[in-house]
Amino acid sequence: MTMSATIDRLKLSVDGMHCAGCAVSAQARLSKVRGVERATVDFASGIASIDGGDIVVSEILDAVRSAGFEPVLHESPSIASDPLAALIAQQAHTELRQITTQRQWFWRMLIAGVIWIALDILHWTMHHSQPQAWTGWTLFIGAGVALIVAGGGFFASAWRAARHGTTNMDTLVVLGVSAAFVMSAWIFLAQQFSHSMMELPLYFAESTALLAIISCGHWLEARGTSGANSAVKELLRLQPETVERVRANDEIESVALAAIQVGDRIRIRPGGRIAVDGLVLEGQSSIDESSLTGEPMPVVRRAGDSVSSGTIAIDGALVVRTLACGGASALGRIAQLVCDAQLTQAPIARHADRICRIFVPVVILIAAATFVAWLFMASVAVATVTAVTVLVISCPCALGIATPLAVMVATGEASRRGILIRSAGVFEAVAAVKTVVFDKTGTVTSGHPKVQSISVMDQRWTQDEVLALAAGAEAQSEHPLAKAIVSEARVRGLEIPSARDFKADPGVGVHAIVDGKTIGVLRDESASARIEIDGVVAARLVVVDEVRSESRSAVQALRDLGCQVMMLTGDRTSAALHIADAVGLQPSEVLADQTPRSKVDAINQRGASTVMMVGDGINDAGALTAAGVGVAMGGGTALAAASADAILMRNDPRAVAELIGVARAALAVIRQNLGLAFVYNGAAIPLAVCGVLGSNGPIIAAIAMGLSDISVVGNTLRLRAKLVRQRRSATSGTPLSVTVHT
């Protein structure tokens, strides 16, 4: 990728960020770049995501630098053709940055902590014995060393922000620590050389304590953030580095995964991880797909079946022909989707961003006003200590991480359950859902209907002749009915003729020219479909489908969550009511004989913003888009998936209730986190301004600030633990085996 290139999307790492305020500052700069429509900078991962049109890469990099940070591009020319390689490089950089950050904060905490304890012991020794000249100088020098060594990172970050005309949370720390040290140095030097201010206390130990306690809070925050961002790492670890390729002469060679191309044959040993999406050529094995779909039960795959990257061949060897690899594979697409979702911003987070943008300057003004007020009411020492307390206790770190951490945990946990979320905003929309509307075929039912009977109406044709012509017309369709007709023709060993001028009318049927005849396979009032040949009804088909064994328990689980459940289908009323009875729905909860247009109208009539539509077909695309939340079943069409806000990788309708549960839990924690941050700052600042915290105010403020960060991180990790427990303790619903007419 050249620096002068223009693109529509770009991701890059942003190094040098010390706090959530840094991310807000960088995001504001990026949003002003020409062509940028949306920019998000995530502090937890250190990654910026930019969308727009005709964005110049060099201008993006310049904007990041102008905000005081260092951009790192991972989409180099050598890996630009493989998005997965770029994602792996990006995640490796993020992981290295997180490890480095943790180490830096740990050593700052350790150095400042050791000096603080030593100075504090010396300080109290001075109070209870005859003060010696060397003790004061030791306090002065020790605090200075702590300021340089442990406080260097704070000062560098604050200076970088100031140099570019901005402020961040480190600005408050630097002002507070510097004020405490400078005031103590001024008093100490006056005591040494002019023997004045002898009654005033020194705050050398306290200034060092601030650095130690704040560094400890950042270290714990960094550890928690790294733990919350584990989902993408886990997905990428499913990709083996080397594979066994079968050469043309059937010899086996071990090669790097990056060397594999579409069409190559890959051997997978028993217990081995499948590295590509492919078609099984030889062998049979039980495949563990839980890493992608969340489904714990293995699935048997044999010659002719497809397999996905990231899954495991448990008990048999396979030879697979590569159909997709790298970023085009299932694992690559899922990892990218999860990463993209984690980098998006929930609408609720925008309020916090707006506050962070103006918070630091406002706090500095409040601290200055506090200093002046207390200067008139008391002494310089009291005024300084009170102002320092205001600066330290006001750091809004917790506010900046409150939402991103919860989004990270929720999207990661959803992906482990086989639920893919397109953006963080989906959680708010899902949490607001009051009505869940299911499509029938392929959602409530298995989506693999079979032809039960063919009633010939025109005696000029036999069953096989009519079926062959219908199969020719339906061969290009993705509709479940079409697949049933084509499958039945193949089972009977019929030759399926080719078709031309194929035309599909969603909700009505298909027309095509087959063997010179106009064939129509259309909806029918009295059967699953009717077959017309040159405009004359030649036969009627009855197709049967099987209700998914999980559908009844899925309906009950949604009702337990307080949701109204409905079924929306283009099928006949009689067939729809059979399905409804099997899954526990009332006739009033069924809308049958629906067209794609009437499905959209039905969604809108029920208040689209609080409706979730679950479907899998072309006919559902409009309804999925119209609903407040569109959910596509993983086995559905590409159009349905593209129209959806969430995708269920496993074809299990119970996952819909899991999605709502995860979303509600995530939104509750986001609100709790924001509440903790807002209440903390709202209550703490007035207390600090009024001097309630006294002479130990700065230390109390540092502890309180650290506890605020820890409470947000801890609350988010509590969410993670809760969701993990729920996933591990989840049990299968009562199976059903019901066959009905469609």
Phi, psi at residue 493, to the nearest 5°?
75, 25
- Residue in 439, 545, 620, 645 annotated catalytic: 439
Q: Which residues, listed in sequence order, are joined to residue 545 by a DSSP beta bridge?
A: 740
Please give the sequence-ordered ranges of beta strands (E in DSSP) within 289-429, or none if there are none.
299-302, 306-307, 312-313, 318-324, 419-421
DSSP notation for 1-34: --TT-EEEEEEEEEET--SHHHHHHHHHHHHTST
Alpha carbons 485 and 479: distance in angstroms, whole number: 10
Which residue's entry shows tokens 């009844």? 552
Tokens of 198: 């002898």
Phi, psi of 530 (to 5 degrees): -120, 150
**Cα 124 to Cα 630: distance, rounded to the nearest angstrom:** 65
Secondary structure letter of residue 492 according to DSSP: T
Segment (H or E) for 386:
helix 380-393
What are the φ/ψ torsions at residue 706 (nearest 5 degrees)?
-65, -40
- Token output for 488: 């039945």
Q: Which residues pair with 48 in a beta bridge?
A: 12, 41
Tell me the C-alpha to C-alpha distance, in Å, between residue 470 and each of 228, 487, 495.
54, 11, 12
Under 8 Å between Cβ of 663 and 427:
yes
Bridge partner list, 252: 246
Strand 277-288 to 318-324 pairing: antiparallel
Contacts of 728 (CB under 8 A, 6+ apart): none
Indicate the SS3 state at residue 505.
strand
Neighbours of 287 (CB within 10 A): 22
Active site residue 51: no
Cα–Cα dist 387/547, whole Å:
69
Phi/psi at 281 (5° precision):
-95, -40
Ramachandran angles phi, psi of 565, nearest 5°: -120, 135
The β-bridge partners of 510 are 504, 521
Q: How does DSSP classify residue 298?
A: -
Instruction: Note the Cα 444 to chain centre separation in Å.
Output: 27
Q: Per the structure block, which two tokens stand in for 515?
A: 């063997």
DSSP character string of 575-643: HHHHHHHHHT--GGGEE-S--HHHHHHHHHHT-GGGEEEEE-SGGGHHHHHHSSEEEEETTS-HHHHHH
DSSP H or E run through 362? helix 347-377
Residue 55, helix vs strand vs coil: strand
Q: Are 411 and 341 in contact (CB under 8 A)?
A: yes
Q: Which residues of 121-151 are buried (b: 16+ CB within 10 A; e: fewer)?
A: ebbeebeeeeeeeebbebbbebbbebbeebb
Q: How far apart are CA 240 and CA 593, in angstroms?
A: 49
Catalytic residues: 439
